[in-house]
């Protein structure tokens, strides 16, 4: 049986690195990419900022207290998506078996690519060099016989490094590592394992599968295999997009129903545009509301046919608003999502024009609106109701 060769590539501080690439004057400075100062969280940070204890998902306000001289920049998702496409294009030169885990990391099965490009180390090195030379970004990589070990290797390679684990080295590589390095070992599992005297992966190997199952349920069996570097999961070439949406956290809680309605209208417009960019439509519209005490509700409605019509998405959200406490309780976050997706082959939904209108007419209208926004910005053309939003801001 041919031993698999799996590479896990993870871009280093991706969002922040893209910002530094676009603005060379930021080289060497602590840079934080995230939301607003009061409510936002850190999406990415350069290693200069991480030295101060700044981490992803940390409130931006806390990050700035830790690193007062940090340069804080807003998230530019469209720019990062553009850079991601170029990164993944480089991956595809070396193998068609690429499984994207997120915008900035992927598994590559290069078992069948070695005749053309050399062994796993050579391929990983070539990928990292291409990313650096062509895009001005750095990536860390791990090479191993399975996905589990490859990902753990890339984590240890950060930043801008390469760690290769040969098949005969898997046991010795894993043994001294803390058990928290394994997939699925969060705080709850860690506490249970600690009660069994388990701190390292070597400790974990001493525990029988029956005991692990008793403590952790079905996951105990998987954990017993992971502790021995056994992970037969294949590299899955693509993940189907399950939903498209947009959510926003607001600097000041929203207490006014009419203002919340306008915010939701804006989110419906943005979600609709994202659907059209991906040539998708969806049947289920979901409204997410998070209140000031961090409790949240999610309400959904399913249509008869898929849609990408902003008016129809918003009409669904209006009905869903009635099933929430918007206007009665302060709201800190709103989100609109469309799921149960289908492609362009579906008939275009009615809603903005009379039923007898030519569906292609509405398609052309929305495409024209998208083109105008692409060229002149989001505010160039929008519903009249959102003009009130501009006055408030």
Can you give the length of the chain in residues? 393
Spatial contact of 165 and 173, defined as CB atoms under 8 Å apart: yes
In angstroms, the CA 351 to CA 285 distance is 15
3 tagged catalytic = no
Spatial contact of 2 and 109, defined as CB atoms under 8 Å apart: no
Spatial contact of 7 and 150, defined as CB atoms under 8 Å apart: yes
Catalytic residue, chosen from 19, 48, 99, 105, is: 105
Structure tokens at 351: 């809603």
- Residue 311's Cβ-side half-sphere holds a number of Cα atoms within 13 Å equal to 13
Query: Which residues are catalytic, by number?
Result: 105
């Amino acid at each position: 049986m041919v031993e698999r060769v799996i590479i896990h590539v993870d871009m280093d501080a991706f969002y922040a690195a893209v910002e530094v690439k676009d603005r060379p004057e930021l080289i060497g400075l602590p840079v934080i990419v995230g939301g607003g100062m009061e409510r936002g969280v850190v999406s990415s940070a350069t290693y200069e900022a991480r030295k101060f204890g700044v981490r992803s998902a940390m409130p931006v306000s806390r990050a700035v207290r830790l690193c007062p001289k940090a340069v804080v920049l807003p998230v530019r998702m469209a720019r990062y998506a553009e850079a991601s496409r170029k990164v993944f294009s480089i991956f595809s030169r070396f193998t068609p078996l690429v499984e994207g885990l997120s915008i900035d990391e992927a598994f590559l099965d290069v078992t069948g690519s070695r005749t053309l490009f050399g062994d796993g180390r050579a391929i990983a090195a070539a990928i990292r060099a291409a990313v650096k030379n062509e895009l001005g970004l750095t990536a860390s990589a791990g090479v191993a016989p399975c996905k589990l070990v490859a990902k753990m290797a890339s984590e240890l390679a950060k930043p801008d490094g390469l760690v290769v684990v040969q098949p005969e080295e898997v046991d010795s590589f894993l043994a001294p590592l803390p058990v928290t390095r394994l997939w699925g070992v969060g705080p709850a599992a860690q506490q249970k394992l600690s009660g069994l005297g388990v701190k390292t992966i070597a400790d974990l190997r001493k525990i029988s599968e029956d005991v692990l199952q008793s403590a952790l349920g079905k996951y105990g069996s998987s954990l017993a295999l992971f502790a021995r570097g056994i992970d037969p999961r294949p590299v899955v070439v693509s993940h189907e997009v399950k939903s498209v949406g947009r959510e926003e956290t607001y600097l000041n809680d929203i207490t006014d129903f009419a203002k919340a309605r306008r915010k939701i209208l804006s989110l419906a417009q943005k979600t609709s545009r994202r659907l059209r960019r991906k040539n998708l439509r969806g049947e289920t519209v979901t409204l997410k509301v998070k209140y000031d005490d961090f409790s949240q509700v999610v309400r959904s409605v399913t249509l008869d046919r898929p849609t990408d019509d902003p008016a129809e998405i918003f009409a669904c959200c209006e009905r869903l608003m009635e099933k929430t406490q918007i206007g009665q309780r302060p709201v800190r976050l709103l989100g609109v999502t469309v799921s149960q997706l289908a492609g362009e082959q579906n008939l275009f939904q009615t809603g903005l024009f009379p039923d007898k209108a030519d569906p292609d007419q509405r398609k052309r209208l929305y495409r024209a609106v998208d083109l105008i926004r692409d060229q002149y910005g989001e505010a160039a053309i929008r519903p009249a109701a959102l003009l009130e939003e501009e006055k408030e801001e």
